């Protein structure tokens, strides 16, 4: 693993955005432009950590070119020497970050600047800021992928006892919570795992409408044996935690929803 970066300010920033990248040479520069543009539009202090997960294309070169062209942007590049996967990169980078809040952005330029700015405007309003989207508002998402996503959300809510509108919308968390309550599963369901863990601890949360562009096309990386096993593990964890909560943890504070 190698790390390089532009200068950052002396004080800890309001938020760290980790941008994960795997073979995104055509889209990573646009992603960084949208992320930094959105953060500057809401006038919060920030740092961006790009994690390249052993890309086989020129993604690393594109990131370095962007950093050289924008020396005032506090961007660091973390180039893995081993492919570690999205969830592992997300959790591990939280321990190297400096921001009070923490958010994942994928390197495929799925979120326009205006959408990101609207999400970032809610920093600090709750322990968890959860973007949700009508499945019809995700451009490029097939009917099958919409059905899969809706079914996943429905089942997580049944298993956990909560009523969250969308679990895979890249929430803003307190970075401490990511380090303390990081998921026990590292596949498709890792975000649902972490959100429900925090709700079990009485975290406050705010759900906000959002939108994105699905660039995966007709195929889905979620349809793999590894992810099926991971989702099964997530559901088992949710069921065990809910059972334990009902029997032993009735004194825990209830999660509090913040409304607009």
- The domain defined by 1-121 folds into Spore Coat Polysaccharide Biosynthesis Protein SpsA; Chain A (3.90.550)
Q: b/e per residue, 62-90, with b = 16+ CB within 10 A?
A: bbbebbeeeeebbbbbbbbeeebebbbbb
| pLDDT, tens digit (0-9, with 9 covering 90-100), for 114-159 | 999 999 999 999 999 999 986 545 666 788 888 888 999 999 999 9
Q: Which residues contact 131 (CB under 8 A, 6 or more apart)?
A: 119, 166, 169, 170, 171, 207, 208, 209, 210
pLDDT of 218 strictly over 50: no
- In this prediction, residue 187 has a pLDDT band, given cuts at 50, 70 and 90, of confident
* Cα–Cα distance measured from residue 34 to residue 246, given in angstroms and rounded to the nearest whole number: 43
Specify the domain boundaries for CATH 3.90.550.10 within the chain.
Answer: 1-121
Give the integer Cα–Cα distance in Å for 145 and 142.
5
Cβ proximity of 94 and 180 under 8 Å = no
Residue 80 DSSP SS3: coil
Place of tokens 């180039």: 79
Per-residue pLDDT reduced to its tens digit, 68-77: 999 999 999 9
Q: What is the pLDDT of residues 40-53, one digit of tens each?
A: 999 899 999 999 99
- Average pLDDT of span 25-32: 98
What's the pLDDT score for residue 230? 80
Q: Both tokens of residue 196? A: 């429900």
Tokens for 260? 């607009």
Mean model confidence pLDDT for the chain: 90
């Amino acid at each position: 693993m190698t790390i390089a970066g532009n200068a950052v300010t002396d004080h800890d920033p309001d938020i760290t955005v980790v941008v994960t990248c795997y073979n995104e040479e055509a889209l990573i520069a646009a992603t960084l432009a949208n992320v930094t543009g959105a953060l500057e539009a809401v006038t919060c202090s920030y740092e961006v950590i790009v994690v390249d997960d052993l890309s086989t294309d020129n993604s690393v070169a594109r990131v370095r070119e962007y950093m050289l062209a924008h020396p005032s942007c506090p961007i660091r590049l973390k180039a893995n020497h081993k492919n570690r996967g999205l969830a592992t990169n997300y959790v591990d980078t939280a321990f190297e970050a400096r921001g009070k809040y923490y958010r994942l952005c994928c390197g495929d330029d799925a979120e326009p600047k205006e959408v990101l700015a609207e999400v970032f405007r809610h920093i600090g309003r709750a322990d968890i800021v959860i973007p949700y989207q009508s499945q019809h508002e995700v451009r490029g998402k097939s009917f099958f992928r919409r059905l899969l996503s809706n079914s996943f959300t429905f089942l997580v809510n049944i298993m956990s006892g909560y009523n969250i509108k969308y679990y895979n919308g890249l929430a803003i968390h307190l970075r401490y919570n990511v380090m303390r309550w990081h998921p026990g599963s590292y596949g498709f369901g890792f975000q649902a795992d972490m959100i429900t863990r925090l709700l079990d601890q009485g975290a406050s949360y705010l759900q906000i409408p959002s939108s994105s562009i699905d660039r995966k096309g007709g195929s889905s990386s979620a349809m793999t044996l590894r992810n099926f096993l991971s989702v099964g593990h997530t559901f088992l964890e949710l069921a065990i935690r809910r059972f334990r909560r009902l029997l032993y943890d009735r004194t825990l504070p209830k999660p509090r929803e913040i409304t607009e």
